[in-house]
A = this chain, B = another copy of it.
Amino acid sequence: MSNPTAAMLVIGDEILSGRTRDANMHYLAGQLAPRGIDLREVRIVTDQHDRIVVALNALRAEYDHVFTSGGIGPTHDDITADAVAAAFGVGVDIRDDARAILAEHYTRTGLELNAARLRMARIPDGARLIDNPVSSAPGFSIGNVHVMAGVPAVFQAMVAALLPGLAAGAALYAQNLTIPRGEGEIAADLKALAEGFPELSIGCYPFQRDGAFGATVVVRGEDKTRVDAALVKLAALFPEAVA
């Protein structure tokens, strides 16, 4: 049985403009890997209705799950809920359960549940709410699409609420070794190693540190015994490597 697959769609003018460095993608990737949900693709698109619809329909047809971030706040540029509804061909309106959550929150905090804030209760028909313990305005899941906020603290809280309810896969077992040599010197041995362990994923990630080149070799696989065997071979080939 193969692992569930996933994609992420970032609705992100502020990332594409260079103003903000995305944090949610890296966070989500780190949460999915240990659950055996394979993040296969990420797309970042502008805050434009048609762009969101097209990307969402492409991704939800191809992967088991699509996680989105951004565009579900109260302002005029928050258009994700409407775009998601359009992608699914369903209606979207203020929903009583979402409104009740907001009403409780704003009563408690002494703020007004005004028209702008009520926009955050607009939920596509048939969606299930995702809890937001940080600022109350919910995310939602519809079909295999999970719609979450862009503010990192809220995104992370929604991911924490959502993931335990999704079927997990087999987490890949991973080990790595860092070799203080340029990739070009270790490439032939690595290639031979990869050919000897065709069931493993053996990646080589070069870096520069204090002017010197090095490479981190990451070995991943479902079978711990085989990953460890590959690591032993790798360590024998490069005695100067460090874990």
Contact = CB atoms under 8 A, between A and B. Distances in A.
Interface of A: 13-22, 25-26, 29-33, 39-47, 51, 73-77, 111, 114-117, 119-120, 134-135, 150-151, 153-154, 174, 182-188, 190-191, 194, 201-208, 213, 215, 218, 220
Nearest to A55: B41
Given A13-B203, A119-B187, A135-B208, 5 more contacts: A13-B201, A16-B39, A18-B31, A41-B51, A116-B191
Contacts of A15: 25-26, 29, 42
A14 B218 contact: yes
Please give the count of copies of this chain that the complex contains: 2
Contact of A203 (B31, B77, B153): B77
Contacts of A29: 15-18
A204 B115 contact: no
A76 B46 contact: no
A203 B42 contact: no
A114 B184 contact: yes
Contacts of A16: 29, 39-42
A58 to B, nearest CB: 9
Contacts of A194: 76-77
Nearest to A73: B183
Contacts of A120: 184
A169 to B, nearest CB: 14
Contacts of A207: 151
Nearest to A44: B42
A95 to B, nearest CB: 17
B44 A75 contact: no
A26 B18 contact: yes
A190 B75 CA distance: 7
12 contacts: A13-B203, A14-B218, A16-B42, A17-B174, A17-B220, A20-B205, A40-B46, A41-B51, A43-B43, A43-B44, A77-B203, A114-B184
B191 A76 contact: yes
- Most B CB contacts (10 A, CB to CB) among A16, A21, A33 go to A16
Nearest to A213: B135
